[in-house]
Structure 1
Amino acid sequence: MQTKVALVAGPTGLVGRELVLALLKSNQHKQVIALSRRPLGPEFSSFGDRLLVRSLPTGNEALHADEFYCALGTTLKRAGSQQAFRSVDYDLVLDLAKRCQAGGTRRMILVSALGASPESALFYSRVKGETERDIKKLNFPELAIYQPSFL
């Protein structure tokens, strides 16, 4: 029986897109909520009301889901500056995780990057590592962090 609700941040990226499709095709979730700034592609049109697309939240409201999948991220080039990159890959990720936790989410899955470390000399890897470190401090009952190679 489908009883779980999954929340996915970053559904238009390479990993996020495949993740949303996999969650919908698995039939283990009654609903998948995709948080996105951009519309999803036509391949998602056949899932009806099981897929809900919402804008990234503003304000401080809690987010309610059983599972939070975070595949949110940008590139330094696309962000335009280190500060803008950090605001997405650290600030926004942490904010969404805290909102999910406040809404009762028990399981978080974070897509990070190979080589992530808060002590890294590379800015990208350092921010990813700081994000991982601070997500761990939130003490979700279930947390999985995946570190794929460069995408």
Structure 2
Amino acid sequence: MQAVIVGATGLVGGCVIQELLAEPRYTHVTSIGRRSQAPQVKKWTERIGPMSDMDALWSEIQADVAFCCLGTTIRKAGSQEAFAEIDWHLPVRFARVARQKGVKQLHVVSSLGADARSKTFYLQTKGRMEEDLKTLGFETLVIYRPSLLLGEREEKRPFEHFSAAAYRFVEPYYPRFLQTWKPIDAKDVAQVMVQQSLAGIPGTRIMENRDMHAQPDQS
């Protein structure tokens, strides 16, 4: 199997790369991005360039499975419009080209609570992205909706850092009725994504945050 991934420099994307490289059933991985990670592994190559020219970045790429791990914050993006470009329009462009190239599976990171009808701009944008992806006709489309992601980011997100630290302190006492919103390690999300891709179950489905905790191996 061959995979292509966009968003490999992010928290979940970086973990997905590591999972793919460690999985012998994946013989080659191509990452698409704006900056190089200087891969030192033979089965990993990069396509670096402007995200606005997705067709050019996809040239010569062959893949069975596509992973989209793009995501930012409105604060980092600088505006709602810039945020929507990264978290909605760019994933859809990536997916549309993937479909044109014959990719069978698409695995996409969204967000807990994503809903195109939400009054919250962040969740509404994620929901609109999901709705657009569902129209593209992938044999397998899996959307992952994690809660607060735990892990070491390159960028600093003070609120998330504080929330993650607070969660680790109260984790032993976390009430059962809040399990739906329980923070999740990015490595766990990545592991589930790769497991699901190996299973290759046809159809469109959503993996909610609670589904990704202690997810059994389906490979």
TM superposition score normalised by structure 1: 0.89
Does residue 113 of structure 2 align to residue 120 of structure 1?
Answer: no
CA apart distance, 1:37: 1.5
Change (3 A) 1:134 1:59: closer
Deviations 1:34-75 (A, max 9, x none): 11222327xx52x2x200111255163555310000001111
- 3-state SS, counterpart of residue 29 of structure 1: coil
- 2:54–2:94 contact (8 Å) kept in structure 1: no
Give the CA RMSD over aligned residues.
Answer: 1.6
Structure 2 counterpart SS, 1:21: helix
In structure 1, the gaps of 5 or more residues are: none
The answer to whether residue 27 in structure 2 is matched with residue 30 in structure 1 is: yes
What is residue 186 of structure 2 aligned with on the other side?
none
Please name the residue that 2:55 is paired with.
60
Identity %: 35
Aligned to 2:3: 6
Aligned residues: 144
Residue pairs, 1:1-150, within 5 angstroms:
4-40=1-37, 44-45=39-40, 47=41, 49-56=42-49, 58=53, 60-61=55-56, 64-150=62-148
Contact 2:65 2:105 in 1 (8 A): yes
Counterparts of 2:88 and 2:119, CA distance in 1: 17
For the structure 1 residues 87 and 104, does the alpha-carbon distance in structure 2 shift closer, same or farther, using more than 3 Å as the test?
Answer: same
| Equivalent-residue separation in structure 1 for 2:36 and 2:101 (angstroms) | 25
Separation in 1 of the partners of 2:47 and 2:30?
Answer: 7
TM-score by length of 2: 0.62
For 2:62 and 2:142, the matched residues in 1 are separated by: 19
Q: Which runs of 5+ in 2 are unaligned?
A: 150-219
Q: How far is 1:116 from its partner?
A: 0.2
Q: Secondary structure at the match of 2:34?
A: coil
Contact 1:34/1:51 (CA < 8 Å) preserved in 2?
A: yes
